Every structure is written in C-alpha cells, then in structure tokens.
Structure 1
Amino acid sequence: MKVLFLLIFTLFFGQILFAQAAETGGLAEEFTRLEDYLRNQKLTPEEKKKIFETNVINSLRVTLARKVREPKKELKDLKFQDVKTERPEGTNNLYVKYKNFVISYSYSADPESYYISPFEEKVLEKPNGADLNAAHSDEKVVTPPK
C-alpha cells in the first residue's frame, strides 16, 4: 500500500514538473537562445567603443593593483584618455601602455563586443632612464693597454 501511494505521488508531481519545463522550454533552451542572441547582436560603433574602453580600464585596474604601492590612490583617476592601446588586426590580443607600464593582454573573445577579462597578461615595467633604442650587444669593448 505504501509503495503504491509513493508511486502515485511520484508520478503526479513528476508530471507537474515536466509540464512546467515543457511549458517554458527549459532552462537549457532559454540559455541557448539567449547565447545565440548575444553572439549575433549588432553593436553600433559607439557601443563597441564603450565596451572596449571598459574592458581596457577594468583590465588595467586589476593588473596594476598588484604592481603599484597604493592602488586606490594611484588608480583613482585612471582614464582611457591616459592610455595608449594597439590591437593587431584579426586577433583578440591587445597591447596597452600606461605611464611606465607596457602590458600585453590576451582575451578569449573580441574585447570590443563582450565585457570580458583577459585570460593571460604579461606586464613589463620600463626602468627610469632606460634607452630602448640602444643596441643590445653581448660583445665586450676591449680597450688596449697603454
């Protein structure tokens, strides 16, 4: 008797849950439709610029927070206008220069189309007085004895 009651109870509530999932199409289907919509949306140049600038500033804040002494104070006034960027065509890589830092970022998707964080970064800090145009050579200059 208990088994029969349990079986009827399970079937009844199972049908209710299945009906709700079928009615809404299921979360998996909704997720797929939303992902397709977001992937194929047409962004205006202004929207792309805003997304790109936001990604650059957010990436810089996270990266430089680990590199500067007082991040809250030094990064408080960080603006996109103070940053120099270069993105090789056809890639999701980005080179950023801010003050004496030059940073390479790699994104898993287009940083102009999606709000995204880089999956890889490489930070270089230019030492004060460094001459990047000077030729590097392993040869030692030998001066003849007098």
Structure 2
Amino acid sequence: MTTAPHLRRAGADDAAEVTRLRRIMLASAGIVPEADWTPQCEAYFRERLGTDPHFVAYVIDAGDRLLSSTVGQYMWSLPRPGRGPYAGHIASVATDPAHRRRGYARQTFQAVHDHLVEAGCSRINLTATPEGEGLYRSLGYGDPTGPMPLTWTAD
C-alpha cells in the first residue's frame, strides 16, 4: 500500500530496502558489489538497525518501498580540547532515481546529522560523491581543517 512519503527512523525490517538504496549509492560512485554482498549487507543492517545505539538510519517511507535513506554511526573519540566524546560518520546517502530532486535526501541526512550531534558528536565525516557534494556543503560540511586526514585501505 502506498502512503504519503514520510520521514522515520529505520528498523531491522528495513534492512533489504536500505541495502537496495545503498547499492544505488555505490553504483553512482562506479562501485559494483560482488554477488554475495547483498545478503551480507542486509544481515549487517538487520543486526544493527533499531538495536545498536551507535548506529542510525532515517528513511523516507512511501508504504510499499523506501524512497531515500541516510545511514550513520558514531564511536568514542580520543580526548581533544574543545571536542565532544564522539566522532560520527555518515556512510550512505541514497535516493531512488525515480524520486530525486524532492528534498528526500536532505530530510534523511539532516535527521541523521541531528541524531549524531544530539548523541555528542563534535565532528562528523563523510565521503561525498559529486552528486551529493552540494547538499553536504549547504548543510555546513566542508574541507577538513588542521592536520590532513589520511586513509589506508587493503585494496
């Protein structure tokens, strides 16, 4: 049944749809997951959504499917003057292509951002695709200041 699209916090029952939307986000970055990725991702979300206090997702729900989602998490951060106890990371922002340009990504992103700030995060990072960069900058995200963050990957 289709209902008016509305914002809500995701739960374990949303794992398959949040995974579908994450696949869309990855595809926009040119990443094509292996065949076994989908069940692994669904299991990951099912285990955490609604149960892990450090893990959160907000979605736009149309009743028969999710139209957009943002997923974030936070962890303890080493003490540093002027910073709160947690660092946040927004890991996935995706909107179904048929429902873009309606403000859904902004709504879900803002809800996750606010959740992380309320939890005590004094900094939140993300990796922006060219499609999403304008949205994130409009919400106050910018280039890092201070020492340059570097990342190692096993790839």
TM-score (norm 1): 0.30
Larger radius of gyration: 1
Task: Report the structure, 1 or 2, having the larger helix content.
Answer: 1
TM-score (norm 2): 0.28
Q: Which structure is higher in RCO with an 8 Å CA cutoff and minimum separation 6? A: 2
